[in-house]
Amino acid sequence: MALLEIKKFGCPVLRQKATLICDITDEVQQLIEDMFATMYAAEGVGLAAQQVGFTERLLVLDVRPRDPLSEPLAFINPEILWTEGECIGEEGCLSLPGIVGDVRRPAQIGVRALDGNGREFEMDLDGIVAKALQHEIDHLNGVLIVEHFNAIKRNLVRGQLRKLQREGKRQALGLTYK
């Protein structure tokens, strides 16, 4: 397992829309392992491929620090099937260290994806795992949490964002697992 560099706000790969993964290769499975290792080292609960410089529709989640009954999950080509309800809660992001803010999201979701072995599954989710999954799917679509912040909050973090943007622009561009 290798620890990967987490891309910061300003790195262009964070704004790229992810491409579908057609084949679950050894390289994809290795990327999943490396993403879990990187997420754990950074003490995160979710990580999308863009956050480590890859441009495929892949994310990993492990919300056990907040929900001990959950399990680590890899989602390949995740697709939200339905949403219900609404919740507002504070979110942070490994690509935006030090920046947190309230984000409005659906409270419950249904999702379909492939697991790390290429088997399709569907899940109905709520709570922290639903929130984290939506956050990571936003990354796969090139969306960052600051886009969910209200105008006042965005103005409050403007200076932090400028500093991160300078750092992020110096990071290497996106990679592909192929």
Catalytic machinery residues: 136
The SS3 of residue 42 is coil
Question: Considering only CA atoms, which of 91, 86, 85, 83 is closest in space to residue 124?
Answer: 83
Local structure of 117: helix, strand or coil: coil
Whether the CB-CB separation of 43 and 66 falls below 8 Å is answered with no
Q: Which helix (H) or strand (E) holds 33?
A: helix 26-41
